[in-house]
A and B are shown apart, each in its own frame.
Chain A
């Protein structure tokens, strides 16, 4: 009986393997044209969106997902991928769209201009800015801390166990754009860059500091919902000039203001029907995004519930995206 079992299983396996071969056809199998196996299940039209790890990006996706599902009848899958790998996944069609990109010139050159596997999707409507921040309660007590020239004076107050004898400059996720190590060195600051390793860890740490009104210096970015919970003031770095950040090792200037961009897979952009048209038109403001982010991250609403709340109260905004 066992013997037969085994043979049966072998036959089944062979059958399965040959069916697979049949399905895949006999020509070449282009890995770059394969969708997610979870897409379009049971005949539903599916859109796969890339969610980056920060909450603002989750807010974009939550609202887009809600509208796609409830107004356009799509099924939406979301995948969390870091920024640079997301470009690769987008070019392969494993995700259909990135809704918030902070500027990746190398990838843009490679995939949009050279290979033409990714198409531009227009402005998101939100402008992003990266900088160094101290909590406002600390900046009020020591107003001169907001100029980088005075940072060394305060290094001892920013010291932690991890930063050794220097002040701590806290950086976040390894996926974020950062010149901080070069900046600390080139501006001759008595600081040590400590990488929190993920935004979640960084936020948790900042809230703990804020609860005790302790001083801290951190890499941070706007728009970001945390500003509503922990008010922070930017430290002025030497002003940004076009091209001053061209050489990574020699950067000694602030970060630019970046209008955030949307990108679509080229095929999806062409054949994506109403979903693609909708995603191209999707454009909102910093306030809108923060409203949804805050609901997700602070009031702990599920992204879906937060999106529903926003959609119910901003009919005119999203109606325009659907027309």
Chain B
């Protein structure tokens, strides 16, 4: 916790804020002086008091058993969930059949032509290359399965998101009710969404699609609402004065004016759905994610990478194309339509030729195996870096030292503190940074983990998150500063960041184990690798956006490079840096949870255990605790003006 408290506020707090912070802390101390003795007398100190926990095991196990026994007879399942599940299966199947029917040539041509119409020739070529690469890697069919699942999930997410967004954009009251929920949904680790869906739908594609929708719809809703609210008042008045009805105003003015936000929302939704597509393989999504997951079972990093690369390629292509669509101006409507017609015609023609030649499936002879060289490289790395490197020691030694000197004391410290002291600590950090409301939410969220009976594992997970965030911030800020000061560094970094941000988290896990062994250290390492790109990017952007005039005047006053950085750039970029901290925390938590698969233990292990053993009581409690932890961490680091963008 030390890193969080000291690094952020010390950057530069204007004088009055400092006083305000002191006042808040004083008030907190006062409240503590009254409440702590009471709590101590009533429940004693030490770990979370047993009297304050609620055991949910029996009701949850009962519910789970009831569902299994009744889902083929109960009307709720037959007439509601059954249809939902059926609908998902049928639509995924329909899309899948269309994709297979178009053949690899047809799909590639269609994708490239869409990219051409939306974003120009360069992206079209890139798109075609990306799809061909998926085929070359021998991943054509899994890619199509993932694509079919994604298309359905994204469409549903967009519909749900737009409906929610319309509601929020048109009604003030709904907006106030929805916004905190949507805000919160965006910061929760994807893993926490899997369990409740599995409880109702069982393992399989319907559960995977629905979990993806729940995860991916919020950004669409938020951005739709934002776009509708941000519409130019004067235009609206002009439309109104022309006598348009409310419905006409919405369709002809407000929605078109919100186009940019809508497309940004689509972009975010697609990226989040892709991220989920891999994690959902744990609950039977099939496709590329499943290949990654299966490859990891035989410790085959190369094969995992061969399935991971198509995901990255799909992500980069979809990201660039939808981003370009958001930027594109409005051309001549007539030529637009003609262009689309040509494009559609060409795609159909290619698909038909493919059919006629009988080349629908990707030919086996055209695949390249990258697994062997990649595995050789990984083996070499682990052979030479694991231990016995002169002077600096091997990675295994680092992991051991990190565990003994950082993770253990941190965990022991947190778990050793009386429970009320931990809550006070959270309040003391959250209040000065945010408002009393965020502080209260944070404290209640953490207390909820105690009530659920998982206080100790939650603090264990928390200690891992804190250690990982500290490392991420040190590395991320240093890299971000370097990138902000030199264009060349930024140019080199950009593609690297792109790839690392879209790579499925699972792919990291095995090389990390090979380097750091089993335990909490590899979980932390994977989390750092995953969160670093977002932190670097936000830091770089924040520093670059600092007013050039301020920099100029500092330079003219004879400030050295370091002085400029410390006294001008960093203070002015403070909101961006706080945002970086917030994003870092959220992303780190997501991976520390997955770290349960490599020995991270604590809540992540419980969640995995719940899924693996079908013991939903353990899993759901862990999932709920993860939600609480995510909420707490987000609120503690919540910057005053939260941006819409999510790092991953």
Of B52-60, B112-120, B397-405, B564-572, the segment with at least 4 beta carbons within 8 Å of chain A is: B397-405
**Residues A37 and B96 in contact, CB atoms below 8 Å apart:** yes
Partner of A300, one of B255, B302, B333: B302
**Residues B299 and A89 in contact, CB atoms below 8 Å apart:** no
Partner of B72, one of A2, A6, A31: A31
The tally of residues in A whose CB lies under 8 Å from a CB in B reads 70
Interface string of B55-82 (1 = CB under 8 A from A): 0000000000000100110010111011
- Which chain A residue shows the least CB distance to B65? A110
**Residues B82 and A85 in contact, CB atoms below 8 Å apart:** no
Partner of B284, one of A79, A200, A296: A79
**Residues B86 and A204 in contact, CB atoms below 8 Å apart:** no
Provided the pairs A36-B286, A85-B614, A92-B204 are in contact, do residues A197 and B599 lie with their beta carbons within 8 angstroms?
A: yes
Verify if A3 is at the interface (C-beta below 8 Å from B). yes
**Residues B85 and A202 in contact, CB atoms below 8 Å apart:** no
Interface string of A89-103 (1 = CB under 8 A from B): 100101000000000
Provided the pairs A79-B284, A89-B284, A201-B518 are in contact, do residues A20 and B91 lie with their beta carbons within 8 angstroms?
A: yes
How near does chain B come to A3, taking the closest CB pair, in angstroms?
6
Provided the pairs A161-B403, A162-B599, A300-B300 are in contact, do residues A200 and B203 lie with their beta carbons within 8 angstroms?
A: no
A208→B513 CA distance, assembly (Å): 10
Verify if A127 is at the interface (C-beta below 8 Å from B). no
Interface string of A26-53 (1 = CB under 8 A from B): 0011111111111001100000000101
Verify if A203 is at the interface (C-beta below 8 Å from B). yes
A302→B198 CA distance, assembly (Å): 31
Partner of A31, one of B77, B251, B599: B77
Interface string of B592-626 (1 = CB under 8 A from A): 00011111110011001101111100000000000
User: Using Cβ atoms and an 8 Å threshold, which residues of chain A touch B75?
Assistant: 28
Verify if B249 is at the interface (C-beta below 8 Å from A). no
Among A34, A84, A170: residue with most chain B CB under 10 A: A34
Verify if A266 is at the interface (C-beta below 8 Å from B). no
Verify if B541 is at the interface (C-beta below 8 Å from A). no
A34→B205 CA distance, assembly (Å): 10
A30→B79 CA distance, assembly (Å): 8
**Residues A24 and B87 in contact, CB atoms below 8 Å apart:** yes
Partner of B608, one of A29, A35, A197: A197
Partner of A199, one of B68, B297, B399, B408: B297
User: Using Cβ atoms and an 8 Å threshold, which residues of chain B touch A35?
Assistant: 89
**Residues B284 and A300 in contact, CB atoms below 8 Å apart:** no
**Residues B399 and A161 in contact, CB atoms below 8 Å apart:** yes
**Residues B89 and A37 in contact, CB atoms below 8 Å apart:** yes
A297→B597 CA distance, assembly (Å): 19
User: Using Cβ atoms and an 8 Å threshold, which residues of chain B touch A198?
Assistant: 296-297, 509, 597-598
**Residues A162 and B296 in contact, CB atoms below 8 Å apart:** no
Provided the pairs A200-B510, A296-B298 are in contact, do residues A79 and B72 lie with their beta carbons within 8 angstroms?
A: no
**Residues A24 and B251 in contact, CB atoms below 8 Å apart:** no
Interface string of B174-201 (1 = CB under 8 A from A): 0000000000000000000000001001
Provided the pairs A32-B72, A199-B297 are in contact, do residues A81 and B203 lie with their beta carbons within 8 angstroms?
A: yes
User: Using Cβ atoms and an 8 Å threshold, which residues of chain A touch B615?
Assistant: 84
Partner of B78, one of A1, A30, A86: A30
User: Using Cβ atoms and an 8 Å threshold, which residues of chain B touch A85?
Assistant: 198, 202-203, 283-284, 611-612, 614
Interface string of A209-239 (1 = CB under 8 A from B): 0011000000000000000000000000000
Q: Is the interface of B mostly helix, strand, loop or mixed?
A: helix
User: Using Cβ atoms and an 8 Å threshold, which residues of chain A touch B202?
Assistant: 31, 85, 88-89, 92, 94
**Residues A162 and B520 in contact, CB atoms below 8 Å apart:** yes
Which residues 58-80 of A have a CB within 8 angstroms of B?
A: 58, 77-80
How near does chain A come to B380, taking the closest CB pair, in angstroms?
13
Provided the pairs A110-B68, A297-B298 are in contact, do residues A205 and B612 lie with their beta carbons within 8 angstroms?
A: no
Provided the pairs A6-B251, A88-B68 are in contact, do residues A161 and B404 lie with their beta carbons within 8 angstroms?
A: yes
Partner of B403, one of A53, A54, A84, A162: A162
**Residues A38 and B597 in contact, CB atoms below 8 Å apart:** no
A197→B510 CA distance, assembly (Å): 12
Among B145, B290, B294, B519: residue with most chain A CB under 10 A: B519
User: Using Cβ atoms and an 8 Å threshold, which residues of chain B touch A80?
Assistant: 281, 290, 293-294, 297
A141→B507 CA distance, assembly (Å): 38
**Residues B294 and A38 in contact, CB atoms below 8 Å apart:** no
Verify if B229 is at the interface (C-beta below 8 Å from A). no
**Residues A201 and B510 in contact, CB atoms below 8 Å apart:** yes
Which residues 344-402 of B have a CB within 8 angstroms of A?
A: 369, 371-372, 375, 382-383, 386-387, 396, 399-400
Verify if B252 is at the interface (C-beta below 8 Å from A). yes
A24→B187 CA distance, assembly (Å): 36
Verify if A23 is at the interface (C-beta below 8 Å from B). yes
Verify if A123 is at the interface (C-beta below 8 Å from B). no
A110→B180 CA distance, assembly (Å): 42
- Which chain B residue shows the least CB distance to A7? B251
User: Using Cβ atoms and an 8 Å threshold, which residues of chain A touch B299?
Assistant: 200, 203-204, 297
A16→B98 CA distance, assembly (Å): 15
How near does chain A come to B477, taking the closest CB pair, in angstroms?
28
User: Using Cβ atoms and an 8 Å threshold, which residues of chain A touch B303?
Assistant: 300, 302
Verify if B265 is at the interface (C-beta below 8 Å from A). no
- Which chain B residue shows the least CB distance to A90? B203
User: Using Cβ atoms and an 8 Å threshold, which residues of chain A touch B96?
Assistant: 37-38, 41
Provided the pairs A79-B284, A79-B286, A81-B284 are in contact, do residues A200 and B296 lie with their beta carbons within 8 angstroms?
A: yes
User: Using Cβ atoms and an 8 Å threshold, which residues of chain A touch B399?
Assistant: 161
Verify if B484 is at the interface (C-beta below 8 Å from A). no
Verify if B436 is at the interface (C-beta below 8 Å from A). no
Interface string of B257-292 (1 = CB under 8 A from A): 000000000000000000000000101101000100
A88→B206 CA distance, assembly (Å): 14
A87→B371 CA distance, assembly (Å): 32
**Residues B201 and A31 in contact, CB atoms below 8 Å apart:** yes
A194→B517 CA distance, assembly (Å): 12
A301→B75 CA distance, assembly (Å): 49
How near does chain A come to B270, taking the closest CB pair, in angstroms?
18
Interface string of A11-31 (1 = CB under 8 A from B): 001001000100110001111
How near does chain B come to A87, taking the closest CB pair, in angstroms?
8
A102→B294 CA distance, assembly (Å): 19
A42→B371 CA distance, assembly (Å): 30
- Which chain A residue shows the least CB distance to B606? A174
Among B72, B251, B369, B509: residue with most chain A CB under 10 A: B72
How near does chain B come to A44, taking the closest CB pair, in angstroms?
10
Provided the pairs A194-B518, A197-B597 are in contact, do residues A204 and B613 lie with their beta carbons within 8 angstroms?
A: no
User: Using Cβ atoms and an 8 Å threshold, which residues of chain A touch B544?
Assistant: none
Verify if B92 is at the interface (C-beta below 8 Å from A). yes
**Residues A29 and B86 in contact, CB atoms below 8 Å apart:** yes
Verify if A195 is at the interface (C-beta below 8 Å from B). yes
**Residues B599 and A2 in contact, CB atoms below 8 Å apart:** no
**Residues A208 and B517 in contact, CB atoms below 8 Å apart:** yes
How near does chain A come to B65, taking the closest CB pair, in angstroms?
9
A35→B386 CA distance, assembly (Å): 46
Among B202, B283, B371: residue with most chain A CB under 10 A: B202
User: Using Cβ atoms and an 8 Å threshold, which residues of chain B touch A139?
Assistant: none
**Residues B86 and A31 in contact, CB atoms below 8 Å apart:** yes
Verify if A82 is at the interface (C-beta below 8 Å from B). yes
Verify if B100 is at the interface (C-beta below 8 Å from A). yes
**Residues B612 and A175 in contact, CB atoms below 8 Å apart:** yes
User: Using Cβ atoms and an 8 Å threshold, which residues of chain B touch A82?
Assistant: 611-614
A160→B522 CA distance, assembly (Å): 14
Interface string of B85-123 (1 = CB under 8 A from A): 111111111001100110000000000000000000000
Give the top 8 A-B pairs by smallest Cβ distance, nearest first.
A29-B82, A175-B612, A84-B614, A28-B78, A37-B93, A174-B609, A161-B403, A82-B612
Given contacts A38-B96, A92-B204, A198-B296, 7 further A-B contacts (CB under 8 A): A20-B90, A31-B77, A55-B298, A94-B205, A208-B517, A300-B375, A302-B371
Can you give 17 A-B contacts (C-beta < 8 A)? Answer: A6-B255, A24-B87, A31-B81, A31-B201, A35-B89, A37-B205, A38-B92, A38-B205, A80-B281, A85-B283, A88-B614, A161-B408, A173-B612, A174-B609, A174-B613, A197-B518, A201-B513
